[in-house]
């Protein structure tokens, strides 16, 4: 019996306003081919199927088209849980219809815990596996706290609530497994943040519980789990170094911080002996190349020249870190990629802010300066000669006037930098 563990598809996510439907479509096509070539029996999707609670029509079309293809594939079951990005009610709306097609959706914690534990059978009616389909657990689902609790106390009780929930689900799973003679594996699922989990800058991974740093350790998961398929963290990783406790990560880079990260899904194979489990990460192809460029203008232009020679279609995020103030930076960079397949999605230039903050005394805080004083600091830092300042100051005053229409008066305090 072979299982494919995926998570965090984030269908519908854009990148600096750029739609990514082609990438998502390419990934789902690849996933179908992989399921066929790897002879997958059960597909697990461990939350964050969509990027928002209200996905657009084209995104929904991708999702349901994929599920339709799954019905006629070699895969016998699909199990989908909701993540913190998903709308549980939206996922569960077609639940009864999908269940007839052996697609099982658990969007929220059911009233009866038995409904969270699925005994899946093959096409001959023989048991395949017991799946503990635990969705993203909201505070209201698990928090065991009183109004008088401290922040630390609430966090501790939140973690305790998650542990108790998994303990109860694990007990149900063990009973169902015993009904099959103990022959089938027990697979846990979840969408949460485990202790020591790795993230990357700009990956969009959110803290799951407001006002707390609640993270759970491996002890939260019942020992009866033969494999644990987790979602939420986008970096593929093991939990506490355990081979059978894993995040598969997101299949597409969610931001430029993940540009150099090798994405993967996880194939899990069980023999007739429940205890023997072989875990095999499978690399996901790159469907749209991303690259971060950083440096001064010379370094950036040099790298752009090299990329142009290779003729690839690449989306770029550029961070200018040079000392000189380049007034027409965007224009220069856009000219450098004109007529190529390179596309600049974002230019980060924090130079102006750095200049404004340069060498401020502790008592000379930015919020105590008006916009004119901040501009003066910029001129000082750039060592602009006094004779060259009047036209710059005049142009700046015109901008302030256009923004606030106050005939030279200072902007209101709440509008100051």
**What is the mean predicted confidence (pLDDT) over 193-211?**
69
Mean pLDDT of 85-91: 95
Task: Locate CATH 3.30.160.720 in the chain.
Answer: 289-415
DSSP 286: P
Q: Are the C-beta atoms of residues 51 and 13 closer than 8 Å to each other?
A: yes
- Tally Cβ neighbours within 10 Å of residue 244: 17
Tokens of 291: 């690259």
Half-sphere exposure of 50 (CA within 13 A, CB side): 21
What's the pLDDT at 357? Answer: 55
**Confidence at residue 412, expressed as pLDDT on a 0 to 100 scale:** 44
Q: What is the pLDDT of residue 71?
A: 95
Of 3-12, 35-44, 315-324, 373-382, the least confident: 373-382
CATH number for the segment(s) 289-415: 3.30.160.720
Averaged pLDDT, 198-209: 65
Average pLDDT over residues 178-192: 92
3-state secondary structure of 153: helix
Q: Tell me: the pLDDT tens digits for 132-153? A: 999 999 888 876 655 545 656 6
Query: By mean pLDDT, which of 17-21, 80-84, 121-125, 411-415 is the weakest?
Result: 411-415
Give the pLDDT confidence score for residue 91 in this predicted structure: 96
Q: Please name the helix (run of DSSP H) or strand (run of DSSP E) that holds residue 282, with its range, or none.
A: strand 277-283
The arithmetic mean of pLDDT across residues 108-112, rounded, is 93
What is the three-class DSSP state of 172?
helix
Q: What percent of the chain has pLDDT over 70?
A: 84
CA angle 118, 6, 91 (to 5 degrees): 60
Q: Are 172 and 113 in contact (CB under 8 A)?
A: yes
User: How high is the pLDDT of residue 220?
Assistant: 92
| CATH class (in words) of the domain with range 2-283 | alpha beta
Give the pLDDT confidence of 12-55 residue by residue, as tens digits.
Answer: 999 998 999 999 999 999 999 999 999 999 999 999 999 999 99
Considering the chain, what percentage of its residues have pLDDT values greater than 90? 64
Under the banding of pLDDT at 50, 70 and 90, the label for residue 70 is very high
* The pairing of beta strand 264-270 with beta strand 277-283: antiparallel
- What is the model's pLDDT at position 409? 44
Q: Measure Cα distances from 324 to 111, 301, 330, 352, 378 in Å.
A: 63, 15, 14, 11, 12
Ranges for all domains in the chain classified under CATH 3.60.21.10: 2-283
In angstroms, rounded to a whole number, what is the distance separating the alpha carbons of residues 53 and 243?
Answer: 33
Structure tokens that stand for 319 in this block: 């961070």
pLDDT(307) > 70: yes
State pLDDT tens for residues 386-395.
Answer: 888 888 888 8
Are β-strands 2-6 and 264-270 bridged in parallel, bridged antiparallel, or unpaired? antiparallel
CA distance linking residue 312 with residue 306, whole number of Å: 11
Tell me if residue 146 falls in helix, strand or coil. coil
Is residue 326 within 8 A of residue 297, CB to CB? The reply is yes
Cβ atoms within 10 Å of 126's Cβ, excluding its own? 10
Confidence of residue 365 (pLDDT cuts 50, 70, 90): low
Report the b/e string of 147-186 with b at 16+ CB within 10 A: eeeeeeebbbbbbbbbbebbeebbebbbebbeebeeebbb
In angstroms, rounded to a whole number, what is the distance separating the alpha carbons of residues 234 and 7?
9
């Amino acid at each position: 019996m072979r299982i494919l563990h995926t998570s965090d598809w984030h269908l519908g996510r854009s990148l600096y306003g750029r739609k990514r439907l082609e990438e998502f479509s390419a990934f789902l096509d690849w996933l179908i081919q992989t399921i066929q070539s790897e002879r997958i029996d059960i597909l697990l999707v461990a939350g964050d199927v969509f990027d928002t609670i209200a996905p657009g029509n084209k995104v929904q079309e991708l999702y349901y088209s994929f599920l339709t293809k799954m019905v006629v594939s070699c895969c016998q079951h699909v199990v989908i849980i909701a993540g913190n990005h998903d709308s549980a009610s939206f996922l569960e709306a077609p639940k009864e219809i999908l269940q007839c097609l052996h697609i099982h959706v658990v969007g929220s914690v059911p009233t009866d815990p038995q409904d969270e534990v699925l005994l899946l059978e093959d096409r001959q009616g023989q048991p395949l596996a017991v799946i503990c389909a635990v969705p993203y657990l909201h505070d209201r689902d698990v928090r065991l706290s009183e109004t008088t609790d401290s922040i630390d106390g609430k966090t501790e009780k939140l973690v305790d609530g998650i542990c108790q929930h998994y303990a109860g689900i694990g007990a149900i799973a063990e009973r169902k497994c015993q009904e099959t003679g103990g022959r089938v594996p027990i697979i846990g699922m979840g969408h949460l943040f485990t202790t020591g989990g790795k993230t990357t800058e700009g990956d969009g991974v959110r803290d799951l519980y407001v006002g707390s740093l609640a993270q759970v350790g491996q002890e939260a998961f019942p020992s009866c789990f033969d494999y644990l398929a987790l979602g939420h963290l986008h970096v593929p990783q093991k939990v506490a170094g355990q081979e059978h406790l894993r995040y598969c990560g997101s299949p597409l880079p969610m931001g430029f911080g993940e540009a150099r990260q090798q994405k993967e899904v996880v194939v899990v194979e069980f023999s007739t002996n429940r205890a023997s489990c072989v875990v095999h990460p499978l690399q996901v192809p790159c469907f749209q190349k991303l690259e971060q460029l950083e440096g001064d203008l010379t370094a950036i232009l040099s790298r752009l020249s090299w990329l142009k020679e290779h003729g690839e279609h690449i989306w770029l995020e550029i961070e200018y870190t040079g000392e000189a103030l380049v007034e027409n930076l965007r224009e220069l960079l856009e000219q450098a990629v004109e007529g190529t397949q390179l596309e600049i999605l974002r230019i980060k230039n924090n130079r102006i802010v750095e200049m404004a903050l340069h060498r401020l005394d502790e008592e000379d805080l930015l919020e105590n300066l008006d916009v004119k004083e901040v501009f003066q600091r910029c001129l000082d830092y750039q060592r602009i000669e006094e004779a060259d300042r009047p036209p710059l100051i005049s142009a700046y005053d015109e901008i302030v006037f256009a923004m606030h229409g106050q005939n030279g008066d200072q902007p209101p305090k709440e509008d100051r930098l």
